[in-house]
Chain A
Amino acid sequence: DTGVSQNPRHKITKRGQNVTFRCDPISEHNRLYWYRQTLGQGPEFLTYFQNEAQLEKSRLLSDRFSAERPKGSFSTLEIQRTEQGDSAMYLCASSEGQGDYGYTFGSGTRLTVV
């Protein structure tokens, strides 16, 4: 098991373009989380999946954001019509149980919108 894998590691895009990030969780973990971390801040919750079901979404997740987890394995996070304010590190995490004992985080995807 190689842990939580995120691709790409870095993404630079022009304002208005769409971007998609991928997360591969630890294989036996059925819960998957997306967090966003802006400069000088701690990570903030975006959304959560249990298997393929998206059970919770933060108010931070505007209509331009969509996340999927088909077949309950890998997950994708898409941002449409990117804005400069979307520049951040997007972190994916997974947990085996309910997450009360913490998550395992990936290395993140750093998005820069120019």
Chain B
Amino acid sequence: AQSVTQLGSHVSVSEGALVLLRCNYSSSVPPYLFWYVQYPNQGLQLLLKYTSAATLVKGINGFEAEFKKSETSFHLTKPSAHMSDAAEYFCAVSEESGAGSYQLTFGKGTKLSVIP
């Protein structure tokens, strides 16, 4: 089974600073990788996804992530944090379940705080 590790359950950055949220995965096959964002008491919104095309993936709200196979990483970055980026971020890997579908396995999440 695949697994996802997110380093740092809580990250604080100043407004305008670089955002870096770390994600490492374990997979025996080339994975599909995702970042989702969750605002308080809301569901998950897809930020971006890697599906074996370009290794640098651009998402919504200025976020991007780079797939590095040699490091089994898929870190999420944003050059300049905005107050509205404060939320919880989840990295996920997709695995074929054998029942005609792909099942998402999530990390434990990283809560991002943005300091004015």
Interface residues of A (CB under 8 A from B): 4, 6, 9, 31, 33, 35, 40-45, 48, 50, 55-56, 91, 95, 98-108, 110
Contact = CB atoms under 8 A, between A and B. Distances in A.
Contacts of A102: 32, 34, 46, 49, 94, 104
A98 B102 contact: yes
B104 A103 contact: yes
A41 to B, nearest CB: 6
A112 B97 CA distance: 30
A58 B85 CA distance: 33
Range of interface residues on B (Cβ < 8 Å): 20 to 34
Given A101-B49, A108-B43, A44 B97 contact: no
Contacts of A6: 43
A15 to B, nearest CB: 23
6 contacts: A4-B43, A42-B108, A98-B102, A99-B103, A100-B32, A108-B42
A54 to B, nearest CB: 10
Contacts of A55: 99-101
B102 A99 contact: yes
A103 B105 CA distance: 12
Interface of B: 4, 9, 32, 34, 36, 41-46, 49, 51, 90, 92, 94, 96-97, 99-109
Nearest to A9: B41
Contacts of A100: 32, 51, 94, 96, 102
B90 A43 contact: yes
A4 B94 CA distance: 20
A106 B43 CA distance: 5
A48 B103 contact: yes
Given A44-B106, A99-B104, A56 B99 contact: yes
A51 to B, nearest CB: 10
A32 B46 CA distance: 16
Residue of B9, B101, B103, B107 most packed against chain A (CB within 10 A):
B101
